[in-house]
Structure 1
Amino acid sequence: MRQNKDDDTRIGRRQFFRTLGGGTAAAAAAVAAVPLTPTEAKAYDPGTAETRSRYRETDHVKAFYRTNGYETLKK
């Protein structure tokens, strides 16, 4: 490992990871200190327009079923 005496201000790799680990621990402790309050869940009503059936067995869909062998499964 090569070190220059002029590079005393540079941070080493190990020191960098030590600092990073300490910062992560401090951030985790700060998040844990925030009290979590439960919020009331609200239900979503999709209405009749969104719950109606949209599936239609068109000629295109019938051809797909026929070419992929789904008609044989009906029997």
Structure 2
Amino acid sequence: MQEKKQTAMNRRNFLRAFGGASTTAVAAVTLSPGEAQAYDPGEEETRARYRETEHVKAFYRVNGYETLKK
């Protein structure tokens, strides 16, 4: 039997080359040091939102949460 030389890129070789290239690209991006950016949530996201209003108290009372208080 004669062995066929693969001159054209078949699907398996294409996927192997593509996988290697993508892994290298991800590693290059991951390993490159960059300056970290801090997230500033702003005043709108850090303000208190929970208020124990009358309808919240009624919800707790109806669902039996008051019995859990000690």
TM-score range, shorter chain: 0.5 to 0.7
Per the alignment, do residues 18 and 57 of structure 1 end up closer, same or farther by CA in structure 2, a change over 3 Å counting?
same
After the TM superposition, which of the residue ranges 18-27 and 63-72 deviates more from structure 2? 18-27
Identical columns (%) = 47
Counterpart amino acid of 2:38? K
The reply on whether 1:26 has 2:1 as its aligned counterpart is: no
RMSD over equivalenced CA pairs, Å: 2.7
The reply on whether 1:38 has 2:37 as its aligned counterpart is: no
Task: Indicate the residue corresponding to 1:8 in structure 2.
Answer: none
Per the alignment, do residues 57 and 33 of structure 1 end up closer, same or farther by CA in structure 2, a change over 3 Å counting?
closer
Task: Indicate the residue corresponding to 1:52 in structure 2.
Answer: 47
Segments of 4+ in structure 1 off by > 6 A?
Answer: none
Per the alignment, do residues 68 and 28 of structure 1 end up closer, same or farther by CA in structure 2, a change over 3 Å counting?
same
SS at match of 2:55: helix
TM-score, with length taken from structure 1: 0.52
Counterpart amino acid of 1:53? A
Segments of structure 1 that go 5 or more residues without pairing to the other structure are 1-14
